[in-house]
Amino acid sequence: MKHLEVVAGIIIFEGKILCMKRNKGNYDYISYKYEFPGGKIEPGETQIEALKRELKEEMNLEVVLTEEDYFLTVEHEYPDFAITMHCYICKTYSPHFERREHVDHIWLKHNELHQLDWAPADEPIVRKIEIVEI
């Protein structure tokens, strides 16, 4: 089974968290589900470098991010592939970005996240955010 190492950003602006809705993809079980944005780590990249690059490429969004912003690593096995997802809390100075790959987005408070239909790998992140109230 293919295994991917990826990064995801929990993007916060003025107390709200950015939730991105995936587009139609190769796998129906994650198409149109909500996720925290990010992507694959390329060879030679650190997790932070990969997350900054992915957010710039997918959203034209720059974030403030350091090693201290590490939040959680999720291991998840989907029917066709497995992922290790390293998650970081990202601060941004503006809620404005370009939605280049996702079909929708919404900014929600930490205790509202459970209302959305999340990709299964993102669900543990939602549960932890609701507990620690970032």
- 23: domain CATH number is 3.90.79.10
Question: What is the chain's pLDDT, residue by residue, as a tens digit (134 residues)?
Answer: 899 999 999 999 999 999 999 999 999 999 999 999 999 999 999 999 999 999 999 999 988 899 999 999 999 999 999 999 999 999 898 899 999 999 999 999 999 999 999 999 999 999 999 998 67
Number of domains in the chain: 1
Q: Check: CB of residue 113 under 8 Å from CB of residue 17.
A: yes
Domain hosting residue 106, numbered range: 2-132
